[in-house]
Amino acid sequence: MRHLLLTGLCAAGALALAGCETAPNADVDRAFQGVNAVDGNNLNDVMLTVADPEEAVSYFQRSIGQNPDRIDLQRGLAKSLVRARRFTEAVTAWKTVTDHPEATDDDRVDYADALIRNNDWERAEAVLDTVPPTFESFKRYRLEAMVADSNQEWKKADSFYEIAVGLTTRPAGVLNNWGYSKLTRGEFPEAERLFSDAVRQDGSLFTAKNNLMLARGAQQNYAMPVIPVTQTERAQLLYTLALSAIKQGDTTIGKGLLRDAIDTHPQHFEAAVRSLRALEENVSN
């Protein structure tokens, strides 16, 4: 029975292929356009979320070739280029989107984001200035804070970071950015507080954990705080504390922390071993 069913399916497939070979191209194009009309939005969403970024770029480029005026496809290409980390091309794609008559303030904010990723801070600031102050979004204020940081306009940066934190239910990333801003200003206790808040909001954010060690080390506080860590993370954080101690001139403490990091790591911790060996050789010489 299974053999008969398979034979029937093969025969049906052969007939379908024969039909495709003889049908005019225009009919095939119309058929696929009909499918796109029904499923296009869902497919676009898939390409923007779970699809490989490079595949998504190719998909949206092909789609724009067929429908060059559709802003949703232009947005999809721009977002996919950002996901693929092709930031120079993403800037051009977002410029095309913002030039479209149906462009929104969200599009202009995304354009500014692409410019920042491409290290074009001046143009990003100019684009954000075109967004009316009545348009409030988490991403807009996060970018405004980053631009203010780059200009060393600390009061503005703090104000924008505070607003951004209040506009999201997942503030860990922006708290980490705010903490790093404080760290670069030399405001170490404030930086430590913000990094601690970031870790409390998202215990998986290793960057905030590492930055927390830097803030504590800058205050010559080399004790590991109580935070959720894996064994590997603990070893890496001890290594960061060790380097901070050595930088502060606390060499003996740094050597002890390096040994702790080596002992804690579940595998061979080559970077810590090299640092300890270099430190011991330097002392002996």
Residue 66's pLDDT band (boundaries 50, 70, 90)? very high
The mean pLDDT of 258-262, rounded to a whole number, is 97
Establish if 131 belongs to a structural domain: no
Q: pLDDT tens across 128-144, in order? A: 999 999 999 999 999 99
Residue 37 confidence (pLDDT) above 70: no
Establish if 162 belongs to a structural domain: no
Report DSSP letters for 169-183, one per residue.
S--HHHHHHHHHHHH
Q: For residue 176, what pLDDT is reported?
A: 98
Q: For residue 55, what pLDDT is reported?
A: 96
CA distance 67 to 74: 10
Region of poorest pLDDT, from 13-27, 40-54, 208-222, 225-239 = 13-27
Q: For residue 281, what pLDDT is reported?
A: 82
CA distance 147 to 63: 34
Q: For residue 285, what pLDDT is reported?
A: 55
Establish if 240 belongs to a structural domain: yes
Please give the tally of structural domains in the chain.
1
Residue 284's pLDDT band (boundaries 50, 70, 90)? low
Residue 119 confidence (pLDDT) above 60: yes
Q: For residue 13, what pLDDT is reported?
A: 42
Residue 282's pLDDT band (boundaries 50, 70, 90)? confident
Establish if 174 belongs to a structural domain: no
Domain hosting 239: range is: 229-285
Q: Three-state SS for 200?
A: helix
- Assigned token pair, 135: 């348009």
Give percent above pLDDT 90 in the chain. Answer: 80
Establish if 53 belongs to a structural domain: no
Return the higher-pLDDT residue of 206 and 283. 206
CA neighbor of 91 nearest in space, from 113, 68, 74, 73? 113
Establish if 251 belongs to a structural domain: yes
CA angle 140, 144, 147 (to 5 degrees): 140
Residue 149 confidence (pLDDT) above 50: yes
Report DSSP letters for 17-81, one per residue.
HHHHHHS-HHHHHHHHHHHHHHHHHHHHHHHHHTS-HHHHHHHHHHHHHH-TT-HHHHHHHHHHH
Give percent above pLDDT 70 in the chain. Answer: 85
- Assigned token pair, 113: 């984001």
The mean pLDDT of 202-220, rounded to a whole number, is 97
Establish if 255 belongs to a structural domain: yes
Establish if 90 belongs to a structural domain: no
Per the prediction, the chain carries an average pLDDT of: 88
